[in-house]
Amino acid sequence: MTVPSSQRLRCELCQVEIDCQPGLPDQVLFSRGPGGTRSKLWARVCQYLTTGEQKARCINQVPTLRGDEKPGDRYEDLSSIDLGGNQT
């Protein structure tokens, strides 16, 4: 019996890589910063694709593969800051 080996996928659209290892959650390798999950990739990138062509090229469009969004997947909304531009 052979054990399936790991596989690394690359999205031709955004160039992110996803490490797929049997029995383990997929690991997304972003170009900067620490790795993450498919749900994090979805929350930060993939959900913003607008055309059918873009969605067809994206490797992260299957909901069952990416799972539910988790806390910390999205970028945090920052509170606005006063730049002192209200001079009259």
Q: Range of 39's domain? A: 7-60
pTM, to two decimals: 0.78
Q: How many domains does the chain have?
A: 1
pLDDT at position 7 is: 93
Residue 17 in any domain: the answer is yes
Within-domain flag for 28: yes
Per-residue pLDDT tens for 3-55?
567 899 999 999 999 999 999 999 999 988 899 999 999 999 999 999 999 99
Residues 6+ apart with CB under 8 A from 54: 13
Residue 30 lies in a domain: yes
User: Does residue 84 fall inside a structural domain?
Assistant: no
State the Cα–Cα distance between residues 25 and 66, nearest whole angstrom. Answer: 9
Q: Is 71 part of any domain?
A: no
Sign of the alpha-carbon torsion through 32, 37, 38, 43: negative
Following DSSP, what letter does each residue of 22-51 receive, concatenated? Answer: TTS--EEE-SSSS-B-HHHHHHHTGGG--S
For residue 77, tell me if it sits in a domain: no
Query: Is 20 domain-assigned?
Result: yes
Residues with Cβ within 8 Å of residue 61, at least 6 apart in sequence = 46, 55
Question: 45 lies in a domain?
Answer: yes
